[in-house]
Copies of this chain bind each other. A is one copy, B any other.
Amino acid sequence: MKKIRLPEGFVAGGMHCGLKKKRKDLALFFSERPCSVAAVFTTNLVKAAPVLLAQEQLSRTKKINAVLVNSGNANCMTGKRGLEDARMMVKTASGVLGVPEDAVLVSSTGVIGKYMNMDPVLDGIPKLAGMLSADGLLDAVDAIMTTDRFRKMSSRVVKIGGAEVTLTGVTKGAGMIDPNMATMLCYIMSDARITFGALKKALKEAAMGSFNAITVDGDMSTNDTVVVMANGAAGNRTIKAGNEDYRVFYRALFEISSELAQLIVKDGEGTTKVMSVRVKGMKSVRDAKKIAHAIANSLLVKCAVHGGDPNWGRIASSAGSSGVKFDPSKMDIVLDGVTFLKNGEFTSPDKAHRDTVFKSKDIHILVDMHTGSCEAVSYGCDLSRKYLAINSYYTT
């Protein structure tokens, strides 16, 4: 992997403050220049304190300077005390960094339902602020990880009107593919100069085909957070929604988001194979997405992929139980390039072809309903013994 650097004007750092036993557990991303900010949060009704607080702050401000993240405790289901703890983290960091309180967002990831151990966090913040540097990105990434097996980062440099603009994103996930509870945190920083409206639009669109392709509404964790911040240090002419500059910026943002989302899947707990489920020929993207998600999420499909069994009947059945109407007699199912179902009838592919299916680490499921021109992709993974081992004995 080529070295990934922070965009102009950003510094970062990560340290062990003491929430976890040994590993780093406190991260800070900072830009002295105020940043335009856009964010998407979990749609879970049960939201962690830092999510509630960040949503409140972003209803008041369009500019932030910093994001503080702790791992080891999700600060969720912690009631009023949890909210006070999150506020205290904001207050302490904003004081140390010399920026307004609303210019610091906080994220937390880890165990649910345990009050924060605040002493190490409050002691850690000033130390961490003193450690911030343009080379601090890896330390920060390490500090946001929980059961992640590897660092997840992505970066792009694009030219916008002669200026060099950098976008750099980092994420943690490592939970289920559809992270029912495995918190996804993602921070994308850029030195682009971009309007608040354009940044918001770009994130919303980019998230749809990336983070939301693995974490669909109604199935998210209590803490999921994606924040994009852009400080304008690149000195480019201001990017506005809709123009050519916007398309260049959006493409880079989408590529980063898509790369990070797929890294999360790849690092799913116990994942041995990654599957992309593409559903096309639908009348709406929404319906295509619903079916793709139902398939990628089916326990039986996940098991079939794991076992290398081209059980296309399970794919047809999970599509049928997705709640979306379609005509089964028009359905095609293609697994790793081999057609099993054509116009709703089994094609009886020969053994030599069947035996190639679901054998690699990169599985492709294609469903074509032939009733429209819309499509969607969902990313999923297999279900392995290791998944069970991790999730059955993980202690609260």
Contact = CB atoms under 8 A, between A and B. Distances in A.
Given A77-B344, A221-B317, A310-B396, A298 B391 contact: no
Interface stretch (A11-19, A90-98, A108-116): A108-116
B383 A388 contact: yes
A325 interface: yes
Interface in A364-396: 383-385, 387-388, 391-396
Contacts of A383: 388, 392
A355 to B, nearest CB: 12
Contacts of A74: 313
A396 B321 contact: no
A322 B46 CA distance: 10
A329 B79 contact: yes
A195 interface: no
A79 B299 contact: no
B307 A391 contact: yes
Interface residues of A, number: 65
A176 interface: yes
Nearest to A325: B45
Interface in A310-336: 310-314, 316-326, 328-329
Nearest to A314: B181
A388 B391 contact: no
B393 A307 contact: yes
Interface in A65-92: 74, 76-79
A396 B307 CA distance: 12
Contact of A44 (B113, B310, B312, B321): B321
A311 B46 contact: no
Given A325-B45, A388-B306, A316 B77 contact: yes
Given A319-B46, A322-B218, A384-B388, A176 B313 contact: no
A186 interface: no
Nearest to A392: B307
A40 interface: no
Contacts of A300: 176, 180-181, 391
A303 interface: yes
Contact of A388 (B114, B323, B328, B385): B385
Contact of A299 (B310, B319, B328, B391): B391
Contact of A320 (B114, B222, B312): B222
Given A45-B326, A113-B313, A176-B300, 20 more contacts: A44-B320, A45-B321, A46-B320, A46-B321, A77-B328, A77-B345, A78-B345, A113-B340, A176-B299, A180-B318, A181-B313, A220-B321, A306-B392, A307-B393, A309-B392, A311-B395, A311-B396, A383-B388, A383-B392, A385-B388
